[in-house]
Structure formats: structure tokens, C-alpha cells
């Protein structure tokens, strides 16, 4: 449906506006859309009247299609040309949902009273829109307050998040710092543990001193100088820094530099005159009574911190203890070796019988133990050869060994066979030291006899080499160990001893290995003794003893003393020069 309005006057424009408003209202267009369309049309009509001339407004309504969807109402305004509307200069449309209700709605009465009523009633839409606008303003105001509150909450949340982020960053920084400090502490503790193991691994104080720079440079010092008071007179004298002298006198660590070090437990001094351009940290090497020296350090690339100072002082304490222990051990070892040498016997010389002995102390410990050998003559012309071993090591074992040797010599003056001597020695040891035990083997040679009489008490069996090179182990049943709480009569045994024979007495340190026991070692000794040439045994018994020991001890880490005594009966007319055959290695 299409309606056309010709507009030349204000009344024509008002009627056209009323007709458009009624038409869209009759088709159920919403108040807001209706008011928007009518307001836009009014503005265009006003412009057209200002311009003058004749104008044509067209109202065209299209009903909703049967297939569904909205219809449309189109309002067009254009200038009149040759009695008809030209091309519209303005056009607007609205969607309608209700068809067939707009018939006659665009008719506007022409009398003035009806016209005025229609014109005034047209402003009802504007009133409704204003009411809706008021409602929307109230709603906007409400939402504006809500938005303001929300913004305040968001700002407060951002502030809280910022504070939480700042706290978290501070916690992360503190955690990193704590982790760094913990790692540094772990590194220092690991260094102390490893350094302690290195320092205590040696009992040679010179070796410990040489290891100090290896441990400290370059992580904790650029250079290390050790001043031992005991060695100051024997070594080349050189001036010591004043800080080192102060540390030696006071027993407190000293820090010499042009600024305070801030190190706990360390006194601050002016720069050293000997080293004015670099700081010095001088730490005493303490012992139980007084410092034994001072270690002087120059700083590494990074300056020392408080924790480094505490660690270095503890390191110096451990180094001082290690050096002190090593020096005490070296002193005791010298005493022990002197005592051991004093206890070793000068072997007697006897026509037709040569003796050679070798004693090798254990490679660990004080180098003093209970192993001993002895040889002496009896009043009837016989010669007694003894090999013994007191259980344990150290001075107590050595003293007990000396007492047993002295007692055995005293018993032998009254005569007696090897078995009788061992029996009396057993009783003596049991009453003298009930908690000490010993093993021993005794062989007795006599110039008028072609045999050797021997007895053993818990000791490895003698090994006999015959003149032809054959070797056999004299493994007759021995007695029990000396000193055990058991009454025993130790038996004698006899073996033929033709000229050219060699009898070997030894301690278990020569033949016993922890991984294989004693029997394989005895077989190796028998093989080494049988491999010696008869001429070498006659003319160089000491050299033969060395050749026997060398292969047996070549790959052995001796944790026990080794004793070997060779007794060789010379061939008639070819007596050796007995000489001095005692040896200590």
C-alpha cells in the first residue's frame, strides 16, 4: 500500500508527519523506533519548508511475507518535479511484524480542531520516549555506581596483587639468597670434609705441609706460606710479616690491610711492611697446648667473607692437629725404630754353620711389633736358633718380646731341649701376662750331631732344604700357642741335617695373606728356597735370604712384620765366612 502527500505549506507538513506517525503506530512499531522515524521525518520536513517549493512524501507499507519474516514501512521525501515526485532526497524505513492494521491510519482530518488534537497527540510518543529515557538514566546511574564500586574493587585488587607480587618477589629474592648461602655453606663443608681426609691421610708432616697450598689455591687463597716454629732454625731464615708474629704471640688470627676486614674472630692490623699492596690473613696452627706455627694467606680473586674466615680458621685448626699428630708419630716412630734395632740380635759365628736373618717391619703403624729372632750358644756347645711372634703391635708387644727373649736365654743356660724350653716359656708367659700370647719355633744344632732338634708352639713349621735341592716342610704336630690357659708339654722333633742343608725359620707375616691363608705362602717359600743354588747358600747366605724375600714380598702391602732366619750347614772343607748377617730393612 502506498500513500502520497504533497507538501507546500506548514499544514501540509504537519499532516504528513501525523500520517506517518499514525501508520507506523497502527502497524505495531515500537515507541522508540516510531519516535526515531517521526523525529527524523520532522527534521527533513522542516528543511524542505525552509528551502520552499513543493515536496512529495510517500508512505509505502509492505506486509510480512507468508514464508515468515518482518514487513517494512518506507517513508520517502523528495521535491516535486512536473507534477510528480522526483527522486527521493531522503528515505527511511522500519520493520513491522503485524500486517493489515494500517488501513486508513494515514488519513488525517482537515478541520482545524481535529488537526490540532492529532498534532498534540503525536507528542505522546515523545513523552513515552522521555519516560523510557528517564528509566534508562536511572538504570545507567545505578550501573554507573555499580561500575564505580567495581572499579574501586578492581583498583583495590590491583593494589593487593601489586603488594602480593612485591612480597613474592622479595620472597623469591630471599629464597635465592638463602639457596646461594646454603650452596656456599655446603661447598665449604664439603671442602672441610675433603681437606680433613687429605690432611689425615698422611703421617708425614712434610707431606701435609706440601698439601696445604694444593687445597687452598686458588679457591680460598692466592698464595699460602706456612711458618712452623720447630723448623724455623733448621730452614733458611726469612723475615715474617708483623701480622704472622702477632698471630704467633697472641694465638689469634690477624688481618693486615689498609681497611678493616670485618672478619669474625680476626684482629685488624695496619698493612704489612713486607707486603704493603695486598691484604694478609695470618692464622695460627693450634694444638692442645700452644700454636705450632702460622699459615699466612693472600686473598683470592673474590675477597674473604665472614663465613670464609670461619671456615679458614677451622681448616687451620684441623691442619694444626694433623701436623701435630704427624710430628708425634714421627717422633714415636724414631723411638720405636731405635728400640727395635736395639732388640735385634747380632748372630753368633759357629764353624760349619752360617746364619742369616732379615727383619722387615710392617709398612703401616709404628714399625715395631712382637716378631723376633735370636741365636745363641749353650754351655755344651750347641747353638739354639729361635723365631718368635708376640700377638699385637706397639711398645707393649716389643717389651713382652724382649722379656720372652731374655727368659729363653736364661732357661737355655741350664740346658734343655727346644720342647722343654718352649714349655717353660709357656708357663712364664701365662703367669706374667695372661692376656698376651705368643708363637715360637726353636731349632738346636750341635757340632757332634748330624741332626737338628726342633719344636714349635703355634708357629708356622720350619722348611728344610736338603743338599740336593729337595725341600720339605717339617710339619710334625706343634704345641699350642704360648700363654694360653692350658697345661701342655711341648714335644721335640728331630730331622736329618747333612752338610749342605738349609733350615728356614720365619714368621707368619712372610707367608700369610688375608685372601688366601697361610698354606700357599708356605709353598711359595719352599719353592723359593729350593730354587737357590747350593754355591750361593754356601758362600752368600745373606744374598740368598734377599732373593727369597724379593719375589714373595714384591706385590704385598705388608700389614705385619716379616722375619726370616736361614741356618745353613756348610759342606766339609768349604766353610763360609759367617760375617754379620743381621739385617733391618
Q: Three-state secondary structure along 428-454? A: HHHHHCCCCCEEEEEEEECCCCCEEEE
**Angle, to 10 degrees, between the axis of helix 395-413 and the axis of helix 306-343?**
10
pLDDT mean over 19-38: 84
Distance of CA 230 to the CA centre of its chain: 37
State in Å, rounded, how far the first CA of the chain is from the last one. 139
Scanning 276-379, the segments in alpha helix (DSSP H) are: 306-343
Q: Please list, in sequence order, all residues whose beta carbon lies within 8 angstroms of the beta carbon of residue 80, skipping any fewer than 6 positions away.
A: 6, 53, 54, 55, 56, 86
DSSP output for 480-496: PPBTSSS---PPPEEEE
Quote the pLDDT of residue 438: 94
Q: Go through the chain and tell me how many residues it has.
A: 585
Q: Is the peptide bond before 501 cis (omega within 30 degrees of 0)?
A: no
CA distances from 66 to 28, 62, 69, 93, 100 (A): 18, 12, 8, 20, 13
Asked if residue 572 has pLDDT above 60, the reply is no
Q: What percent of the chain has pLDDT over 70?
A: 88
- Give the bridge partners for 451, in sequence order: 496
Number of C-beta neighbours around residue 140 at 10 A: 12
Q: How far apart are CA 39 and CA 46, in angstroms?
A: 11
Give the pLDDT confidence of 525-568 residue by residue, as tens digits: 999 999 999 999 999 999 999 999 998 887 666 677 889 999 99
Give the pLDDT confidence of 237-259 residue by residue, as tens digits: 678 999 999 999 999 999 999 98
Could you tell me the residue ranges of all domains in the chain? Answer: 2-122, 202-331, 344-569
Q: Are 280 and 299 in contact (CB under 8 A)?
A: no
Distance of CA 261 to the CA centre of its chain: 30
pLDDT mean over 314-340: 86
CATH number of 344-569: 3.60.40.10
Quote the pLDDT of residue 577: 39
Give the pLDDT confidence of 377-395 residue by residue, as tens digits: 999 989 999 999 998 776 7
Q: Please list, in sequence order, all residues whose beta carbon lies within 8 angstroms of the beta carbon of residue 337, skipping any fewer than 6 positions away.
A: 361, 367, 368
Question: Nearest-5° angle of CA 31, CA 32, CA 33?
Answer: 95
Dihedral sign, Cα of residue 211, residue 338, residue 555, residue 557: negative
Q: How far apart are CA 508 and CA 481, in angstroms?
A: 13
Beta strands (DSSP E) in 49-89 are 55-62, 71-81, 84-85
Quote the pLDDT of residue 575: 36
Quote the pLDDT of residue 128: 76
Asked if residue 106 has pLDDT above 80, the reply is no
Dihedral sign, Cα of residue 358, residue 361, residue 367, residue 369: negative
Question: Nearest-5° angle of CA 164, CA 168, CA 173?
Answer: 150
**pLDDT band (50, 70, 90) for residue 119:** low
Q: What percent of the chain has pLDDT over 90?
A: 47
pLDDT mean over 448-474: 95
Number of C-beta neighbours around residue 261 at 10 A: 22
Asked if residue 399 has pLDDT above 70, the reply is yes
**CA-closest candidate to residue 337, choices 365, 358, 356:** 365
Dihedral of the CA atoms 300, 305, 307, 309 (nearest 10)?
Answer: 60
Q: How far apart are CA 360 and CA 585, in angstroms?
A: 5
The CATH number of domain 202-331, selected from 2.20.25.10, 3.30.450.40, 3.30.590.20, 3.30.1330.60: 3.30.450.40
Quote the pLDDT of residue 378: 92
Amino acid at each position: 500500500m502506498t500513500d502520497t502527500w504533497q507538501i507546500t505549506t506548514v499544514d501540509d507538513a504537519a499532516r504528513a508527519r501525523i500520517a506517518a506517525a499514525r501508520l507506523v503506530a497502527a502497524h505495531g512499531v515500537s515507541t522508540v523506533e516510531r519516535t526515531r522515524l517521526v523525529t527524523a521525518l520532522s527534521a527533513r520536513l522542516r528543511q524542505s519548508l525552509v528551502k520552499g517549493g513543493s515536496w512529495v512524501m510517500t508512505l509505502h507499507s509492505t506486509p510480512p511475507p507468508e514464508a515468515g519474516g518482518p514487513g517494512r514501512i518506507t517513508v520517502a521525501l523528495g521535491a516535486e518535479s512536473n507534477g510528480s515526485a522526483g527522486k527521493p532526497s531522503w528515505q527511511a524505513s522500519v520493520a513491522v511484524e503485524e500486517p493489515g492494521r494500517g488501513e486508513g491510519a494515514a488519513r488525517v482530518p482537515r478541520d482545524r480542531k481535529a488537526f490540532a488534537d492529532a498534532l498534540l497527540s503525536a507528542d505522546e510518543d515523545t513523552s513515552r520516549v522521555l519516560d523510557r529515557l528517564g528509566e534508562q538514566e536511572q538504570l545507567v546511574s545505578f550501573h554507573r555506581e555499580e561500575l564505580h564500586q567495581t572499579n574501586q574493587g578492581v583498583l583495590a585488587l590491583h593494589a593487593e596483587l601489586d603488594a602480593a607480587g612485591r612480597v613474592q618477589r622479595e620472597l623469591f629474592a630471599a629464597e635465592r639468597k638463602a639457596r646461594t648461602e646454603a650452596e656456599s655453606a655446603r661447598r665449604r663443608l664439603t671442602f672441610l670434609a675433603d681437606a680433613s681426609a687429605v690432611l689425615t691421610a698422611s703421617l708425614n708432616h712434610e707431606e701435609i705441609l706440601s698439601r696445604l697450598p694444593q687445597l687452598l689455591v686458588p679457591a680460598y687463597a692466592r698464595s699460602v706460606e706456612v711458618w712452623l716454629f720447630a723448623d724455623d732454625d733448621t730452614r733458611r731464615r726469612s723475615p715474617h710479616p708483623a701480622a704472622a708474629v702477632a698471630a704467633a704471640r697472641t694465638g689469634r688470627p690477624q688481618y693486615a690491610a689498609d681497611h678493616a676486614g670485618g672478619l669474625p674472630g680476626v684482629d685488624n692490623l695496619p698493612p704489612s711492611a713486607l707486603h704493603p699492596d695486598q691484604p694478609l690473613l695470618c692464622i695460627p696452627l693450634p694444638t692442645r697446648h700452644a700454636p705450632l706455627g702460622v699459615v699466612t694467606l693472600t686473598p683470592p680473586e673474590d675477597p674473604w667473607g665472614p663465613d670464609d674466615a670461619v671456615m679458614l680458621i677451622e681448616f687451620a685448626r684441623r691442619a694444626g692437629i694433623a701436623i701435630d699428630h704427624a710430628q708425634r708419630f714421627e717422633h714415636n716412630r724414631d723411638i720405636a725404630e731405635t728400640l727395635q734395632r736395639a732388640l735385634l740380635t747380632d748372630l753368633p759365628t759357629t764353624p760349619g754353620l752360617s746364619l742369616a736373618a732379615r727383619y722387615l717391619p710392617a709398612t703401616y703403624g709404628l714399625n715395631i711389633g712382637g716378631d723376633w729372632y735370636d741365636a745363641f750358644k749353650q754351655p755344651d756347645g750347641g747353638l739354639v736358633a729361635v723365631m718368635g711372634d708376640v700377638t699385637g703391635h706397639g711398645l707393649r708387644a716389643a717389651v713382652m718380646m724382649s722379656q720372652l727373649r731374655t727368659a729363653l736365654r736364661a732357661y737355655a743356660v741350664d740346658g734343655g731341649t727346644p720342647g722343654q724350653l718352649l714349655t717353660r716359656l709357656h708357663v712364664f708367659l701365662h703367669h706374667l701376662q695372661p692376656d698376651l700370647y705368643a708363637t715360637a719355633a726353636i731349632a738346636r744344632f750341635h757340632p757332634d750331631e748330624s741332626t737338628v732338634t726342633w719344636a714349635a708352639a703355634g708357629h708356622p713349621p720350619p722348611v728344610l732344604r736338603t743338599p740336593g735341592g729337595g725341600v720339605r716342610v717339617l710339619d710334625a704336630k706343634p704345641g699350642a700357642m704360648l700363654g694360653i690357659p692350658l697345661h701342655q708339654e711341648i714335644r721335640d722333633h728331630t730331622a736329618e741335617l747333612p752338610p749342605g742343608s738349609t733350615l728356614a725359620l720365619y714368621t707368619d707375616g712372610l707367608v700369610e695373606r688375608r685372601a688366601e691363608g697361610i698354606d700357599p705362602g708356605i709353598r711359595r717359600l719352599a719353592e723359593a728356597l729350593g730354587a737357590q743354588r747350593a754355591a750361593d747358600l754356601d758362600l752368600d747366605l745373606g744374598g740368598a735370604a734377599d732373593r727369597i724375600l724379593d719375589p714373595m714380598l714384591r706385590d704385598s702391602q705388608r700389614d705385619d712384620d716379616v722375619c726370616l732366619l736361614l741356618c745353613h750347614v756348610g759342606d766339609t772343607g768349604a766353610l763360609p765366612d759367617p760375617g754379620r748377617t743381621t739385617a733391618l730393612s
